[in-house]
Chains A and B, each alone.
Chain A
Amino acid sequence: MIERGHHDMGGMPAGKVEPVEHDYEEWERRVDALMILLSGIRGGNKRMTVDELRKNIEALPPEAYEKMSYYERWVTSITQTMIQRGVITTEELGRKMQEVQARERDGAA
């Protein structure tokens, strides 16, 4: 039986929380904007809920959850949700990723 989910770490032994200021990178701002549009908070069409975002973040394997940054978790979860909802297919996603990789390899920004 599964008991505590990896993400559900309230009360677990941990060090001191050190808040740090940092800038967001362009892609992180885009991921945030994507979520605002997809969840229908502003503009766009509602395509998912924040609860699905959470569910798919919580479904990440513990190693991935630890390794990924905040917005890496978001973009992974949003992608998973779009596949689950049939907005995109895995084939479309795979082909697009190949296309982007090829574009970067060929040096065109």
Chain B
Amino acid sequence: MKKVWRVAATEYLNAVRSKAFIIGVLAVPLIMAISIGAQFYAQKKTDVTPRRFAVLDRSGQLYPALAAKVQARTDGLRAGAKSVSVPLKEGQSLKVDLPPQAEFVVEEFQLRGDDLKAAELQLSGRVRRKELFAFVIIGPNVLDPRATNGTEVLYHTQTPTYQDLPAWVENTLSGEIRERRFTAAGVDSKQVRELSRPVTLQRLGLAEQKATGEVVQAKRENRIATLVVPVGGMVLLYLVVMTSAPALLNTVLEEKMQKISEVLLASVAPFELMLGKLLGTVLVSLTLSALYLGSLTWVLWRFEQLGNVPGQLFAWFFLFQVLALLMYGSVFLAIGAACNEIRDAQSLMFPVMMVVMVPYLMFIPVMESPTSPFSRGISLFPPATPMLMFLRLAIPPGPTWWEIVVGVVLTTAFMLGCVWASAKIFRIGILSQGQAPNLTKLVKWVFSK
């Protein structure tokens, strides 16, 4: 066992001292920071040039109201706050800049005669010459709810990707037209609004009764606790396992190609070598997850959200991480030992990756219905258990105790089986040369003496 730890320690130190590890650790937060920073930067660089547009109001009634609303919007933008405060801990808040918006400038276009096509052409020319950003043609019968012709509002521009102006025009005109239709029909629009007010749905957990008989009211559902923590935790678990385990394949293949394996095998038994590498990788991965979880814990504490993460979830995370790493890692080690080239390894990796992807492909139905027979069954399928049982554990109220026990026992047994079979393949494969074995041959190696 001493040699196993020596191999493990060397593997661990080689990995954590490497540039790849440091870059890997920093990569996720760095990418997040860059993307957030880029968004803020892009926001500041938003083009806020006033958007001038012309309105040809063929209804003859809507332009004044529209112009008034444009003015009200401009006044609001000029007078309104440029930022909002997001409360943090007591007495502290974070000032967040609001995205800047362009002002709109409206002008009326009078139709001379009935030549709508000529008017369209004229306005289009002004847009092309950049005198206008867009123009709007309001249909003559737009206020008549029963009309079938002339009811449309047409928006013309040569910058169709800009959404603020057409969206605002659509909303504003819809509101104005609806109000006028109510008035024309003799209906009190205020009353209509009151009567058609939507009901709000409150999401709650379940009420409980304590041993003392006291009834504890159901708490309001917290989306962070019920969605962000389970999915985020599972994705993080998947991420730390999948950034560590496949690296074993490359390490052992590289050692084999560089003829280091033979030197090592003169000093350590193949199983000691394999186990040492496996444990070294487990330690690397645990370091990685400790760094990530530590940082996330600090962020959650800083925003007073740590209470949404049950403490025992951290323990489950590390347990399932170790089980998954030993299970997947041993398989990747065996493939690396059996092959002589990365190309051969890739073809053997394919069926393994299909199995490894199962939890990632299945997590949505499990998340939506964590206690369904499908979710229960798939979370007891050992290759998927670490991720899916963790997901179920993170979604309140979690699986029953016997499901957790069965899941852990089955996964442990399966992991031991993987390590045993991989050790057999590793022992033969590590010194084999020539053509890479196929799956049938690997199975033969497993059951060879």
Q: Are A and B bound to each other?
A: no
- Residues of A near any B CB (own CB < 8 A): none
- Residues of B near any A CB (own CB < 8 A): none
